[in-house]
Structure 1
Amino acid sequence: MTENLRDLDAWRSLPIKQQPSYPDAAAVADVTAELASLPPLIFAGEADTLKARLARAAAGEAFLLQGGDCAETFSGATGDKIRNRVKTVLQMAVVLQYGASMPVVKMGRMAGQFAKPRSKDTETRGEVTLPAFRGEIVNGFDFTQASRTADPSRLLRAYHTSASTLNLIRAFTQGGFADLREVHSWNKGFAENPANRRYEGLATEIDRAIKFMESAGADFDELQRVEFFTGHEGLLMDYEHPLTRVDSRTGDVYNTSGHFLWIGERTRDLDGAHIEYFRHIKNPIGVKLGPTTDPETALKLIDILDPDREPGRLTFITRMGAGKIREALPPLLEAVKASGAQPLWVTDPMHGNGITTANGYKSRRFDDVVDEVRGFFEAHRQVGTFPGGLHVELTGDDVTECLGGSERIDEAALESRYESLCDPRLNHKQSLELSFLVAEELEKL
């Protein structure tokens, strides 16, 4: 056990990226010590259960759906907003599961997604240059010196906000709210649109099927509860390391800040601190792969992060861009397939398709998101591998941040309800629309 903890500190001697510069080192030490004394947010057994579910997806027997905010905010952790995000993921999952006749592993990009990597350490407006906004776990969005100064007390606020979010998620998914017999109620409160009407039709079919089975004597008590896991990018080591604990049952090391953590495109250096830290934790983990990833790098990541080829351990989340995925992804799939490894392959159709509109908004075109998803499925059909999941930035609210979809959101509409502090998210209607398109692709397998 002592050796495991010693190994866990090896990352400190390696180059590290995307960490904030705190003005008071003593304050950081106090906060990390307090974090280390607080209860775990998740338990080792839950992470193991998720790993088993992801193993099924990697083997082509299930599909992973992960969705949530680009970057969570403290003010966004309200009961209504959390409920709507959970409802949206549940609705998408039922569309996928019913359409593809396949179990869907449900995971929120929630209860820890407070940090964001940035392309630049600073932001300049006019003649003023300040630290970049790195998510509310680090600093504030307001463009002032006080707001943009990294504040370690925010680490504690992120912990407590994550705890309350997890508490509410568990209540919703274990207390009857997510009962499959309530599929119609999940649509209440959402504005009418073609995607919702299509969902209502599917919900009616499910309702009839369940009533038929109940009349035949089937016991549906298990439908009252739904497994729902959480994940986030494991970016800030001053948050992740203190929440890393040794399991008393096995002596293995787990990160207890979330069931699933991933390494971003900007921090996956093979000789970097993040890779070194991640290789020691037993959670299921992910790695983002952009269009410049070569097969040799993918194979090295497998050797370092999953040397025992443990089913469900490693997920590759591809973020190529609609115009690049059909060319960039197949060589990776072919090389990994030839090696005998079987990671779970998931598409992130959001991060490779960012644009800036003429009126200054960061956005994404819904058509590009859809095209990358289709390219992802095409690449897997070409190579003979399984397209195992979807990872999207979404909200359950009726925001206007991504262009297009059945609502035909245009650039002028972005100004009406653009609420994200970082990257644009699919709104509820666009998310539901995307789930029907993904279900159609899964039916082709």
Structure 2
Amino acid sequence: MARVRGQRPPVTESRVTTRPAYPRQVTPSIPDLASLHSMGAAQQPTYPDRAAVDAAVERLRTAPPLVFAGECDELKEKIAAVVRGEAFILQGGDCAETFAGVTADNVRNKLRVLLQMAVVLTYAASVPVVKVGRIAGQYAKPRSSDFETRNGVTLPAYRGDAVNGYDFTEESRIPDPQRLVDVYNNSAATLNLVRAFTTGGYADLRQVHTWNTDFVRSSPVGRRYEKLASEIERALTFMQAIGADPDEFHRADVHSSHEALVLEYEHALTRIDSRTQEPYDVSAHMVWIGERTRQIDGAHVELLSKIKNPIGVKLGPSTTPDDAIALARKLNPENEPGRLTFITRFGASKIREGLPPLIEKVQAEGLQVAWICDPMHGNTFEASSGYKTRSFDDVIDEVQGFFDVHAALGTWPGGLHVELTGDDVTECVGGGEELSADDLSNRYESVCDPRLNRVQSLEMAFLVAEMLSAARCPKTD
């Protein structure tokens, strides 16, 4: 993380003294919250009680860091290897985490599918995989509308557990700033669980078979995984027999990330690193700016331009080459490798046409950027049953288009950003299980967007491994 070293206990329910709004600024280089909001900050909650907001922000300002600046620097170095074409990013997890989902079982299941996918990609494609979870902070979601109407009743939209409740009641949908403190506490608990699993033996490569002991083993993709796991086991046995038993086999680095959406939370957790005297957002190792908040003169771009974490920006079909250049220059003025990742989300039907101009312009300007593909958000549609869903075939087609574009341009397809779960949900249609629209109601659990289930995620890993292997060893005439 990487590993979440030195994690301290979460904030307790101690009494808070209310002080004037936004009393402290992190550093002169970081604009205060009032200035950020004056920039017309997009996708922000409308809180009814300003004093309650001030109290929550003040509590967060004094809370211990969730991650450390040195860990963020370690991740930046790994992403720099991606920029050089020497590694691949696997970024995945829930569309929107929930407080109720912070259990040992849920965290372990998400971690398990990430580890399994990473093993498949690493072994099949022979490339180091940088593991980044959409975890321990992905509690806020941008929405296309501020309101939701059901049966003639209109209420504020659900914006994630960081802001309000999912229940469709007037009380539940009121934005509550205390939830930001709850985000911190639940993120701390999640990171502690991740640390325990990744350093306590669960992530040991010699346990690779134990990650596949339930329903997935009986599926075609599960049997394929078992074959690969047996090959890994034989290789590890050989290495141990000749005296090679690296420490890296016994643990795994899994980094945390989330969309930096609610300004109060991200600003309050921005701290000055004692080593470098530079500001870091200690809410996660990596944070990203979404498609709806990437305005070049907006508050989110301004805030993230000041921190030293590795950062990402979502780029969709409306992005022009000039937009990409302006964002890169604003967010990475020193052109530091590993600092900036562009996460593309075009949709299967648009990626082959929309992505090349962006890459060509960025390359021509000599900008150091990692490119990773989000094949989820551009492929969402509503099934006849009313469920929001995605087709597995569309998701894979966008990934293939992403690899095809990079192959044609001679650039490196640096990674994959996926919404997934380690559970046997039925939220996306297709895949080896051939889920149909009629199956969606069986186990649809997402509070926001549909996720790949564990079988679909593993199937994707094998398909992407083939693409990645071809990218590493392109055919020559």
TM range (shorter): over 0.9
* Count of residues in correspondence between the two structures: 445
1:301 equivalent in alignment to 2:327: yes
Q: Deviations over 1:252-305 (max 9, x none)?
A: 000000000000000000110010001000000000000121100000011100
For residues 308-327 of structure 1, the aligned pairs below 5 Å read 308-327=334-353
The Cα shift of 1:6 comes to 4.6
The Cα shift of 1:190 comes to 3.8
Q: Deviations over 1:365-413 (max 9, x none)?
A: 0000000000000000111110000000000000000000000000111
Which of 408, 413, 429 is the matching residue for 1:382?
408
**3-state secondary structure, aligned to 1:148:** coil
For residues 198-209 of structure 1, the aligned pairs below 5 Å read 198-209=224-235
| Consecutive unaligned residues in structure 1, runs of 5 or more | none
For residues 78-117 of structure 1, the aligned pairs below 5 Å read 78-117=103-142
Q: Deviations over 1:77-106 (max 9, x none)?
A: 110010010000000000000011110000
Q: Distance in 2 between matches of 1:70 and 1:282?
A: 25
1:363 equivalent in alignment to 2:386: no
The Cα shift of 1:189 comes to 3.0
Q: Distance in 1 between matches of 2:234 and 2:43?
A: 51
8 Å CA contact 1:66, 1:109 repeated in 2: yes
Q: Deviations over 1:215-248 (max 9, x none)?
A: 1121233311111101000000111111110111
For residues 164-203 of structure 1, the aligned pairs below 5 Å read 164-191=189-216, 192-203=218-229
Which of 156, 171, 174 is the matching residue for 1:149?
174
Q: Distance in 1 between matches of 2:31 and 2:189?
A: 28
Instruction: Determine the structure 2 residue equivalent to 1:372.
Output: 398
> Aligned AA for 2:187?
S
1:230 equivalent in alignment to 2:256: yes
Q: TM-score, normalised by structure 1?
A: 0.98
> Aligned AA for 1:30?
A
Instruction: Determine the structure 1 residue equivalent to 2:30.
Output: 7
The RMSD of aligned alpha carbons is: 1.2
Runs in 1 of length 4+ with deviation above 4 angstroms? Answer: none
> Aligned AA for 1:165?
T
8 Å CA contact 1:321, 1:351 repeated in 2: yes
Instruction: Determine the structure 2 residue equivalent to 1:28.
Output: 53
1:130 equivalent in alignment to 2:155: yes
**3-state secondary structure, aligned to 2:64:** coil
Q: Distance in 2 between matches of 1:132 and 1:404?
A: 29
Q: Distance in 2 between matches of 1:96 and 1:377?
A: 15
Instruction: Determine the structure 1 residue equivalent to 2:370.
Output: 344
Which of 65, 75, 78 is the matching residue for 2:100?
75
Q: TM-score, normalised by structure 2?
A: 0.92
Q: Distance in 1 between matches of 2:246 and 2:137?
A: 33
Q: Deviations over 1:176-208 (max 9, x none)?
A: 110111110111234321111110000000101
Instruction: Determine the structure 2 residue equivalent to 1:440.
Output: 466
> Aligned AA for 2:314?
K
Q: Deviations over 1:311-352 (max 9, x none)?
A: 100000000000000000011111111111120000000000
8 Å CA contact 1:15, 1:271 repeated in 2: no
> Aligned AA for 1:92?
M
Instruction: Determine the structure 1 residue equivalent to 2:288.
Output: 262
Which of 54, 63, 66 is the matching residue for 2:91?
66
8 Å CA contact 2:26, 2:271 repeated in 1: no
For residues 423-438 of structure 1, the aligned pairs below 5 Å read 423-438=449-464
> Aligned AA for 1:261?
V
Q: Distance in 2 between matches of 1:333 and 1:222?
A: 34
> Aligned AA for 2:220?
P
8 Å CA contact 1:64, 1:105 repeated in 2: yes
Report which stretch shifted further, 364-373 or 150-159.
150-159
Instruction: Determine the structure 2 residue equivalent to 1:50.
Output: 75
Q: Distance in 2 between matches of 1:43 and 1:214?
A: 34
**3-state secondary structure, aligned to 2:292:** coil
8 Å CA contact 1:8, 1:277 repeated in 2: yes
**3-state secondary structure, aligned to 2:101:** coil
| Consecutive unaligned residues in structure 2, runs of 5 or more | 1-24, 472-477
**3-state secondary structure, aligned to 1:146:** coil
The Cα shift of 1:213 comes to 1.4
**3-state secondary structure, aligned to 1:112:** coil
